[in-house]
Amino acid sequence: MSYLVFLLLALICEVIGTVGGFGSSAVFVPLAEIFYDFTLVLALTSLFHLFSNAAKLILFRKTIDVKILLIFGLPSLVFTIAGALLTRWISAQVANIALGVFLVALSLLLLILHNFTFSATKRNSILGGSLAGFFAGLLGTGGAIRGIALSMYNLEKNLFVGTSAAIDMIVDSSRFVMYVINGFYRPHMLYYIPVMVLASFAGSYIGKLILAKVSQQFFHYFVLILILLIGIFTLIKVFLPFHLSIPL
């Protein structure tokens, strides 16, 4: 039963993350925390995302902007390591509140002010990559922030997903190493690798099929609304915590 629950959770998150363009962790982390403790969620997310990004890089390998990858990827790498190091000392509750408020406020701003955009400058790109990397290392999810930052480039939807996945691979490789050093990984997690591989490739493929059917405008609003819902759910989970016990 736990295998089936985990497979369905991972598959749904992977489909949503692929269509949204910022990876599955933004959805997987808040949902997985309902079932598992925080450090286990961090470990599961980084491992799951390695397979998830590998699937996307195969499916979207021809749609990656190398320039944006470097501008976002390098600061993301540095701040992911910094965030992962701080997981031992910073309260997850405080960090979740900050992340939830940030996501809700910024997504509402972009939804209400349709013509408002961030300038696609190197400074904004470095800032966006740094914030996304820091929260990815600290909370296990920074894709929503990266999605907002990448939206300032107004990328074609496939280019958006491919570039985001390439940046995410840099982030997840580094935090995977840091979580191993922190001792978050547990031997029995290895039994879930086949489930992660299946969910990653099946979810990415289904997401790509859906993406081919939606318009660019729908994609843009879908990303922002999804980020808003993730922010709201993050805050609800902090102030109204609930937990369902499913053994892993």
- Mean pLDDT of all residues in the chain? 83
Residue-wise pLDDT tens digits, 71-123: 988 999 999 999 888 887 877 788 778 878 877 887 787 788 766 666 778 88
User: Which residue's entry shows tokens 């808003």?
Assistant: 228
Residue-wise pLDDT tens digits, 158-179: 898 889 889 989 888 888 888 8
Task: Give the pLDDT of residue 125.
Answer: 87
In which region does residue 140 sit, left (phi positive, over 0), alpha (psi from -120 to 50) or beta (all else)?
Answer: left
Provide, rounded to the nearest whole percent, the portion of the chain with pLDDT above 90: 12
Question: 63 and 163 in contact (C-beta within 8 Å)?
Answer: yes
* Helices 122-139/143-150 angle, 10° precision: 170
Burial class (CB in 10 A: 0-12, 13-18, 19+), 46: buried
Query: Would you say residue 104 lies in a domain?
Result: yes
Place 206 in a pLDDT band, splitting at 50, 70 and 90. Answer: very high
Q: Looking at residues 45-51, what average pLDDT do you find?
A: 88
In which region does residue 154 sit, left (phi positive, over 0), alpha (psi from -120 to 50) or beta (all else)?
Answer: left
Structure tokens at 193: 């690798």
When divided into structural domains, the chain yields a total of 1
Query: Would you say residue 245 lies in a domain?
Result: no
Centre a 10 Å sphere on the Cβ of residue 58 and count the other Cβ atoms it contains.
Answer: 12
Burial class (CB in 10 A: 0-12, 13-18, 19+), 238: middle
Task: Give the pLDDT of residue 111.
Answer: 82
Place 124 in a pLDDT band, splitting at 50, 70 and 90. Answer: confident
Query: Would you say residue 229 lies in a domain?
Result: yes
Query: Would you say residue 203 lies in a domain?
Result: yes
What residues contact residue 88 under an 8 Å CB cut-off, 6+ apart? Answer: 182
Check whether 247 has a pLDDT greater than 60: no
DSSP type of residue 188: G
Enclosing domain of residue 165: 2-239
Q: By three-state DSSP, how is residue 155 classified?
A: coil
Query: Would you say residue 183 lies in a domain?
Result: yes
Q: Looking at residues 20-39, what average pLDDT do you find?
A: 77
Structure tokens at 208: 């790509």
Query: Would you say residue 248 lies in a domain?
Result: no
Query: Would you say residue 246 lies in a domain?
Result: no
User: Which residue's entry shows tokens 């081919």?
Assistant: 212
The residue type at 210: I
Count, in order, helices (H) and strands (E) of the chain.
10, 0
User: Which residue's entry shows tokens 């490739």?
Assistant: 201
Query: Would you say residue 195 lies in a domain?
Result: yes
Task: Give the pLDDT of residue 148.
Answer: 78
